[in-house]
Structure 1
């Protein structure tokens, strides 16, 4: 009986390497030091519709009648052959006649093994053509939807301004002071939402810059309710940040109610003064303050529970915030405080802390309590 043929360890190692490359589920090429193809995986042959027998011994750059002779691929293999580590993958566009361009991500690494005199390069090819096409289609759809949404918001803002104009015209023609007041308040509320929709129509991500929004809002209120801006000044402070659109709606309506209330009641008999709107962030927490230096609240006056007060209370509740009215000297301050994380008490107040008269909280967070 003849003994089984024995193979050298080198032959066994090479055979094993070729078997692993050929059976790989990823498209692979094994190259020698002259960048000739030693082996190709079956997945590579399937993806690029080639026969492995035709690939073996062929120079890589001669593949597909030279279509693989691409500057990016040459740069990748030159860097790989230099032996200075594994270079980053390259994005390569493979242009084939009468076929769409194929987008490939190609990686190459020089194999390290005992026979260092025999250079071997392993090339991995990922065809991301369909993934890129899907991503591009998704981005185009998102852009189209964003443009449509901006257009809708622009039209909504225009419609709201028309409604506000009708309300204001009716307020000026009615003979009832009470009805006139209600119509004017409704006008300002509609204008508050219209200003928000106008900003949203130009927003890239659907978020609202608080300072810009409050500034525009107060400009509208001032133009329609303050006949002499030198007599009553309406200023916006703080608010350097962005909030979600749904939050800004409630904040804008709260500011509208509080500012209108201050204009109507804080400066009787032509008294001059200042109304300030201040919004400060403290991480996830925030404080909105509307303050005036007017006559303040008479100590013997009954508690007002009008529509404006109810609106502010309801909007604050939607934002999971509390309302605090603080007598100032002079004037009054109304603070809307949202606390999502309870902070350590008795810490020194930071420079970005809330204005005087509000409840303060340190920026050093220790014992965190998240409120739903």
Structure 2
């Protein structure tokens, strides 16, 4: 009787559980076929017949590679499957791209596993998952990402060009103001024009140094401050004064707006130190930036005479500018001054989300 049942059903004796196996095969959503040791089809799911427009008559008892119009006769896949049954191995997510007669260009994931039924030998379960849409979406996302990167690069190039043009225009305006200051007969007017010249130069310097903006809109603080101070040294000190300007900066990044405020604040404080801290003409200014996980600190210090020894106290337009920039950065501003020098620190703490 068992032999008669085996002839009726290629999966074998019902006592071996083939009724449940067939029920699973016939109801599974994705295409699934069962192969014998010679890779002949002995059963297939209805989803396989529907997907590839075939039927049981032209599928069962045919070699897997002969199905349809030989669409599955892919040498690499064939060699792979021929190793599954003898070695009792498993094939997982083997990707096949092929132009199928009824479906067109498709990308399939093939999974294969060797199984063994009692009294009927080894078999192979082969599942086929169509991932064509997923691959098309992935390719589209890759193309969109590539286009996005191109647009970001173009945007950064335009921004850099705009900053250079703004800086050049400011430089021209500053030069005109300096010429006016030189020809002014009023000491007070000359002083105001010179102050205006210095502040325009500081804005121009900040604009030039914003070039290192990343694709995420942030600026790496360390090279930004170093380049900014190098430019200040060149334009404000040069070889004319025995004053050194040093920068000590740790790694860290801020937004472009924050970098602008940091640059303007640093420039204002450095220029202020150059003007008032060294009546003897010699000294040192240090700019220090430290960064931690939830805070950063900017310290600008000099070894000059301090506020108490100078004519000007920490008040006026420069002080108002510094206070305003500190407010924009939401940073705590601290001033300390003595006969050994002046230090001004800003501490910005990132609010906790807890």
**TM-score, length-scaled by structure 2:** 0.78
Which of these two proteins has the greater Rg computed from alpha carbons?
2
Give me the whole-angstrom Cα distance separating, in 2, the residues matched to 1:90 and 1:306: 74
The separation in 1 between residues aligned to 2:118 and 2:268, in whole angstroms, is: 81
3-state SS of 1:51 partner? coil
Residue of structure 1 in register with 2:162 after alignment? 156
Unaligned runs of 5+ in 1: 342-369
Decide which structure has greater strand share.
2
- Alpha-carbon distance between aligned partners in 2 of 1:226 and 1:251, rounded to the nearest angstrom: 21
Residues 323 and 41 (structure 1), Cα distance of their counterparts in 2 relative to 1, 3 Å cut: farther
Do the aligned residues in 1 keep the contact of 2:39 with 2:63 (CA within 8 Å)?
yes
Secondary structure of the residue aligned to 2:248 is strand
Compute the displacement of 1:13 (Å): 3.7
Separation in 1, partners of 2:151, 2:69: 44
1:286 counterpart (274, 290, 296) = 296
Q: Contact 1:322 / 1:337 at 8 angstroms: preserved in 2?
A: yes
Per the alignment, residue 295 of structure 1 pairs with 305
Instruction: Choose which of 15, 18, 27 in structure 2 pairs with 1:14.
Output: 18
- In structure 2, the residue matched to 1:356 is none
Corresponding residue number in structure 2 for 1:89: 93
- For the residue of structure 1 that corresponds to 2:146, the secondary structure is helix
TM-score by length of 1: 0.74
2:249 is the alignment partner of 1:238: yes
Contact 2:331 2:347 in 1 (8 A): yes
Counterpart CA distance in 2 for 1:259 and 1:220 is: 12
State how far apart, in whole Å, the 1-side matches of 2:39 and 2:339 are.
85
- CA 180–22 in structure 1, closer or farther in 2 if over 3 Å, else same: farther
Give how far 1:300 is off: 8.8
Count of aligned pairs between the two proteins: 333
Task: Pick from 163, 172, 185 the counterpart of residue 178 of structure 2.
Answer: 172
Taking the aligned partners of 1:229 and 1:31, their CA distance within structure 2 comes to 89
Separation in 2, partners of 1:329, 1:28: 87
Whether 1:322 and 2:335 are equivalent positions in the alignment is no
Q: Structure 1 residue 278: deviation in Å?
A: 1.4
Residue 284 of structure 2 is matched in structure 1 by 274
